[in-house]
Amino acid sequence: MTASGKRRKTLRMTSSPLRVAVLGEPDVIVHGLRDVLGSDAVVRPAHEFPIADVCLWNPDGPIARRLGVERTVALARDCAPRVMVITRHPHRAPSSGADGVVDMGAPAAEIRVALLARWPVPGLCLPDDLREVATLLMAGRTNGEIGTVLHLSESSVVRRLRRLYETLGVTNRVGAVRCLARAQDGVLADAS
């Protein structure tokens, strides 16, 4: 219970990194994603990773050309609940069944945020909307930058930040970053 008599929400801890399967891409792409995501993710070719958190596929890749978009998405869904398109041409990416698009031509930091913003900050289980904001907050993004990445107005970002603070049991941005950093280290204590 907090001083105001409200019940504090309990955050569930998890120590597993994001599992990323890459469907039909050359090893250089797999290794590049490993470098970009670091210890926050395990990246493997899809044929080596029967169960993953997200599967990335390229609409210009050999599998998509051979099977077509719908069959490729179905194949990707067989190994992961979330499927994202990874391409150098995000404006041409098919939307059929994909949960998002990752621009291979973007800077490494943006690719990292694009993938990790849609999944938990390591160590915390938060609702999707707060998870996205928390990841971008940890990346040092301003409210305006968070709004741009998530396609939200600044007032919507502020509302989500307030909900995040309440969920974490903190009162400001610094407290939230400290709490999230402790969660990444596997330690979650009272952040107030």
Question: Residue 70, class by beta-carbon neighbours within 10 Å (0-12 exposed, 13-18 middle, 19+ buried)?
Answer: exposed
Asked if residues 55 and 77 have their Cβ atoms less than 8 Å apart, the reply is yes
**Structural domain containing residue 26:** 18-106
Identity of the highest mean pLDDT range in 14-23, 24-33, 35-44: 24-33
Per-residue pLDDT at 120 = 47
What does the DSSP assignment read for 142-161?
-HHHHHHHHT--HHHHHHHH
Supply the CATH number for residue 73's domain.
3.40.50.2300
Last residue of a domain, one of 106, 136, 165: 106
Task: Indicate whether 192 pLDDT > 50.
Answer: no
Number of domains observed in the structure of the chain: 2
Please give the mean pLDDT across all residues of the chain.
75
Average pLDDT over residues 162-180: 85
Residue-wise pLDDT tens digits, 52-103: 778 888 888 888 888 888 888 888 888 777 788 888 877 776 666 677 777 7
Query: Can you give the pLDDT at residue 182?
Result: 67
Given 52, 74, 106, which residue is the final one in a domain?
A: 106
Determine, yes or no, domain membership for 4. Answer: no
**In the prediction, which pLDDT does 94 show?**
64
Higher pLDDT pick, 182 / 139: 139
Please tell me whether residues 93 and 151 are part of one structural domain: no
For the chain, percent of residues with pLDDT exceeding 70: 74
pLDDT above 90: percentage of residues in the chain? 9
Split at pLDDT 50, 70, 90, the class of 158 is very high
Look at residues 71, 106, 141 and tell me which one is the last residue of a structural domain: 106
d(CA 42, CA 23): 14
**Range of weakest confidence among 28-37, 118-127, 144-153:** 118-127
Question: What is the token pair recorded at 49?
Answer: 């990773």
Has residue 121 got a pLDDT over 50? Answer: no
